[in-house]
Structure 1
Amino acid sequence: MTLDLYAASSRPLTRRPDRETAHSFSFGEHYDPANLGFGPLIAHNDDKVSPGGGYPTHPHSDLEIVTWVLSGALVHTDSLGHHSVLEPGTVQVQSAGSGITHSEIADAASGPTRFVQAWVRPDSSGGTPSRAVSSPVVAAGLHRVAGGSDLPIGVAGATFWVGSVASSVVLPEAPLLHVFDASSGDAWRVRDEPGRSLELAAPGSLLVWAFDH
């Protein structure tokens, strides 16, 4: 049973002229063999992007790509024919399957954009690429917005939760929990402590991944 804190100051940063990305795990030029992922979660990136900046068209395969927009707006375009603007409070699940290309650009009319994107390794490779989007109404406390009976994720037992927490919260019951406080930038990794409560030093905006393996 463990709960490990990963302070915001410990996360490596990738800086580009149009964006800054804080990485929770080994990523790109920031290779760390001791920090390759947590359960099936292999990337958890906090992106702050200038208007009109972002990620031009690029490929993915065999990933579940889950995006949560915190501020601004993100223009998403992909090889499945989708083109839409993701606004704050929007969750998108893209199953790359056998292969897709997509682009993610901060809407120039909406000012700076911040979004968190997670990459989750699916249970099986290949498969048919897909995309689903939802704008759930999220009140105080944690609420499941993807996985389970919500937007499907190609990982059995994986769920994604978001919510605003004033001081303490009871976390989802799962063997593996990755908890990210978007307000402070701190994160926690929790193992084998189902039903654990988490105390925050200040009100936070939490993004929580729960895995059963």
Structure 2
Amino acid sequence: MKTVIHQASDRGFANHGWLQANHSFSFAQFYDPNKMQFGALRVLNDDVIAPSMGFSTHPHDNMEIITIPLKGTLKHKDSMGNAWQTIEAGEVQVMSAGTGLLHSEMNAKTDEYLSLFQIWVIPNKQNVAPRYDQRFFNAEDRQGRLQTLVTSIDSEEDGLKIHQDAKLSRIDLKANQSFKYHLKSDNHGTYVMVMSGGVTIDDNVLQTRDAIGVTETDNFEIKTNTNTQLLFIEVPM
């Protein structure tokens, strides 16, 4: 098994006033040649957005974009005809940019900060028809067991769909629990973000917002040191 550790304190950081952004991988003004991507995972941004602020209309193409609101309410509109739809914490949003689209993402609240993860996955098909979807995921369904959020559009497994042989999932574990994660194939790697809490993976102790990339294995074991929330992003390498 091969691992790469990304400490929370080593992430890129940008203070735009209205936006406080932490970058796990090279993005915008943050550049680290050792943090360009993890397989097909290109971006993992941990953003806090001020009330009524956000990303005004801008273009994307040929990227699978996944947004996970953690606290607060996001609102979205795009050139596909979706007009200011709200996405609450507990929901997940996916967007296949494909041949190209325009979209806006804003904090829907006037008196509350919005916290979210934005994830970009490089697609396995170019110039597909743009598409959008969102879904609510019950927190009770990830207590002690894996909850699938996003899978390949070709997969029969339940979850939101993207154009890549990838899988995003979450689990909430109590202190002093063990959990074994099984990868889809030897050609995949899994990027594990500690959303909160603390775990030990392959003798590496990780705390809130630390991450580890795991490759060259078909499974690995996680041992929790405290109550913990984990996000798994499994992608082709």
| Deviation for aligned residue 1:54 | 1.6
Cα distance in 1 for residues equivalent to 2:41 and 2:107: 25
Cα distance in 2 for residues equivalent to 1:199 and 1:190: 15
3-state secondary structure, aligned to 2:9: helix
| Deviation for aligned residue 1:97 | 0.4
State the partner residue of 1:91. 92
Mapping of residues 94-113 of structure 1, within 5 Å: 94-109=95-110, 111-113=112-114
Q: Does 1:178 align with 2:191?
A: yes
Mapping of residues 9-24 of structure 1, within 5 Å: 9-24=9-24
Cα distance in 1 for residues equivalent to 2:118 and 2:15: 16
Q: Does 1:195 align with 2:203?
A: no
CA-based RMSD of the aligned residues comes to: 1.5
- Give structure 1 stretches of 5+ with no counterpart: none
Cα distance in 2 for residues equivalent to 1:169 and 1:127: 37
1:100-159 Cα shifts (integer Å, max 9, x gaps): 111111112461111101101101211100001110223313211110332111002x01
Residue range with higher mean Cα deviation, 163-172 or 42-51: 163-172
| Deviation for aligned residue 1:181 | 1.3
Match of 1:53, as an amino acid? M
- Give structure 2 stretches of 5+ with no counterpart: 197-207
3-state secondary structure, aligned to 1:45: strand
3-state secondary structure, aligned to 1:171: strand
Q: 1:165 aligns with which of 170, 173, 194?
A: 173
TM-score by length of 2: 0.85
TM-score by length of 1: 0.94
Mapping of residues 6-85 of structure 1, within 5 Å: 6-82=6-82, 83-85=84-86
Residue range with higher mean Cα deviation, 103-112 or 8-17: 103-112
Larger Rg: 2
- Asked if the contact 1:48/1:113 (under 8 Å) is kept, the reply is yes
Cα distance in 2 for residues equivalent to 1:193 and 1:130: 33
State the aligned residue count. 212
- Asked if the contact 2:62/2:100 (under 8 Å) is kept, the reply is yes
Identity %: 30
Cα distance in 2 for residues equivalent to 1:200 and 1:6: 18
Match of 1:108, as an amino acid? K
Cα distance in 2 for residues equivalent to 1:200 and 1:85: 34
State the partner residue of 2:233. 209
- Asked if the contact 1:73/1:110 (under 8 Å) is kept, the reply is no
1:161-210 Cα shifts (integer Å, max 9, x gaps): 01212243222424300111122111110012222111233222211111
